[in-house]
């Protein structure tokens, strides 16, 4: 059996607008802070996995800024699951015995990106002008209409409501109300603003039933994690071992073949498969979770993922939410960070940022948003195309601590 792996150090930058920093700067900030958090340096690292979607490979540029030591670097791009994939690459390297210490990084510059890629806003702010290699000839598919992410997840939410009932516009707005309320306790979130149900429902409609506050926020940000083998951890200091968080499951899935609609993406099956495999690998069930950070790219997505992650029974997502379970004070707190709707969604950083939130609670370092006595948490992320990452983390002090 491959030895256990642990998060030794982890960090996320504040998500938001960083006009004075590029992707390499942000990735460097997160990486150096994660190394410091773990009490190690670049000379100790055996492997790097660097995730970035919009800007291409940044791993070697990151090395030039924080230290070139000749180690292997893997550049990762896997849609919104990029950060989780980078972490998974490092976990696999350690489990294989090739590495004892690895660094996973995810970074994105997305502030102000919107949906109109391949164009720029004119000085008056009212017109967009095509630019770049594909700007003048880029197809509209996936940029406007029902193939954009807001429209896709709007349909997914309405499909769930059609199948099981009671998934109303107000219900989805209440999910967003929860996440915005949670965000007020997270100083690293892009937005830390409590919003009333009326404010959410009366805001700009993006794709019914998701208004603007119910959508993930494009922003800049980075997150990084230092991962260590069990045998290496046992040689480190008592304080390093005390703060280490065990990765009891690290799972990646994609869509299986199925006879199904080829128009509306299936975000459910690969998440359910990932959750099932993760619970089996960790030797736990959903009832053992103290908190969950799931991929709420839209309020509609959060609802369906309650069921996909088996936090409730089939068809029970509405009742699960109405019970109060996913609030901070509920039995299974979900997105106490504020979620993507408030924390923000710099694509490649999100997967590691979700893990950072879980680790912060398991270390009892979450301050006023701390979930009391948290010992087990699940981090989930999904990228259409398709990829799903699920990591289960446990507060379990190293045996030699």
Give me the domain span that covers residue 232: 5-111+218-394
d(CA 18, CA 346): 12
Asked if residue 260 has pLDDT above 80, the reply is no
Domain assignment present for residue 296? The answer is yes
Could you give the number of structural domains in the chain? Answer: 1
Domain assignment present for residue 161? The answer is no
d(CA 60, CA 303): 39
Domain assignment present for residue 159? The answer is no
Domain assignment present for residue 157? The answer is no
Percent helix, strand and coil across the chain, each rounded to 5?
40, 20, 40
d(CA 119, CA 281): 45
Structure tokens belonging to residue 310: 């088996």
Q: What percent of the chain has pLDDT over 70?
A: 89
Tens-place pLDDT, residues 340-356: 999 999 999 999 999 99
Q: 207: burial class by Cβ within 10 Å (0-12, 13-18, 19+)?
A: buried
d(CA 100, CA 231): 8
- Label residue 117 by pLDDT band (50, 70, 90): very low
Asked if residue 1 has pLDDT above 80, the reply is no
| CATH for 364 | 3.40.47.10
The mean-pLDDT minimum among 76-80, 109-113, 204-208, 364-368 falls in: 109-113
Name the region of 165 (left: φ>0; alpha: ψ -120 to 50; beta: rest).
Answer: left
Instruction: Pick the closest to residue 52 from 78, 14, 91 (CA basis).
Output: 78
Contacts for 41 with CB less than 8 Å, ≥ 6 apart? 35, 67
Q: Region 118-134: what's the mean pLDDT?
A: 56
Domain assignment present for residue 177? The answer is no
Domain assignment present for residue 186? The answer is no
Structure tokens belonging to residue 283: 């030797």
Domain assignment present for residue 150? The answer is no
Place of tokens 């899935």: 253
Contact 230, 398 (CB under 8 A): yes
pLDDT of residue 123: 59
Instruction: Look up the pTM and report it.
Output: 0.92
Q: Region 244-268: what's the mean pLDDT?
A: 88
Q: Could you tell me the sign of the dihedral formed by the alpha carbons of 221, 130, 81, 331, in that order?
A: positive
Q: Region 116-123: what's the mean pLDDT?
A: 50
Tens-place pLDDT, residues 297-315: 999 999 999 999 999 999 9
Backbone phi, then psi, for 93, in 5-degree steps?
Answer: -65, -40
Structure tokens belonging to residue 243: 């703060």
Domain assignment present for residue 285? The answer is yes
């Amino acid at each position: 059996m491959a030895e256990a792996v642990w998060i030794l150090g982890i960090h996320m930058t504040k998500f938001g607008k960083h006009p004075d920093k590029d992707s390499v700067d942000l990735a460097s900030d997160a990486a150096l802070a994660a190394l410091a958090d773990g009490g190690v340096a670049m000379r100790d690292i055996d492997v790097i996995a660097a995730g970035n979607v919009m800007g291409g490979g940044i791993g070697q540029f990151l090395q030039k800024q924080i230290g070139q030591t000749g180690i292997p670097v893997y550049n990762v791009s896997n849609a919104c699951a990029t950060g989780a994939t980078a972490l998974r690459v490092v976990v696999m390297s350690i489990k294989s015995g090739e590495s004892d210490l690895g660094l996973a990084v995810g970074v994105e510059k997305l502030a102000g990106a919107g949906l109109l890629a391949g164009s720029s806003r004119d000085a008056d702010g009212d017109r967009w002008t095509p630019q770049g290699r594909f700007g003048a000839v880029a197809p509209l598919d996936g940029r406007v209409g029902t193939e954009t992410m807001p429209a896709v997840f709007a349909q997914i939410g309405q499909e769930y409501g059609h199948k099981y009932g009671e998934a109303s516009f107000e219900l989805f707005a209440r999910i967003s109300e929860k996440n915005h309320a949670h965000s007020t306790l997270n100083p690293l979130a892009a937005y830390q603003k409590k919003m009333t149900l009326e404010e959410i429902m009366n805001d700009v409609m993006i794709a019914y039933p998701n208004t603007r506050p119910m959508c993930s926020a494009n922003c800049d940000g980075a997150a990084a994690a230092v991962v260590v083998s069990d045998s290496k951890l046992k040689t480190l200091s008592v304080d390093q071992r005390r703060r280490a968080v065990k990765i009891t499951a690290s799972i990646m899935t994609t869509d299986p073949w199925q006879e199904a609609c080829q128009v509306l993406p299936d975000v459910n099956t690969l998440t359910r498969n990932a959750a099932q495999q993760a619970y089996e690998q960790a030797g736990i069930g959903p009832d053992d979770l103290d908190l969950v950070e799931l991929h709420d790219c839209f309020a509609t997505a959060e609802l369906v993922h309650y069921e996909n992650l088996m936090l409730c029974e089939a068809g029970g997502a509405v009742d699960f939410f109405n019970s109060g379970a996913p609030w901070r004070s509920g039995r299974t707190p979900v997105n106490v960070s504020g979620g993507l709707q408030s924390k923000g969604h710099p694509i490649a950083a999100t997967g590691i940022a979700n893990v950072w939130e879980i680790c912060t609670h398991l270390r009892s370092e979450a301050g006023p948003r701390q979930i009391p006595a948290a010992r087990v948490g699940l981090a989930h992320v999904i990228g259409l195309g398709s990829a799903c990452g699920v990591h289960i983390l446990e507060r379990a002090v190293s045996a030699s601590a």
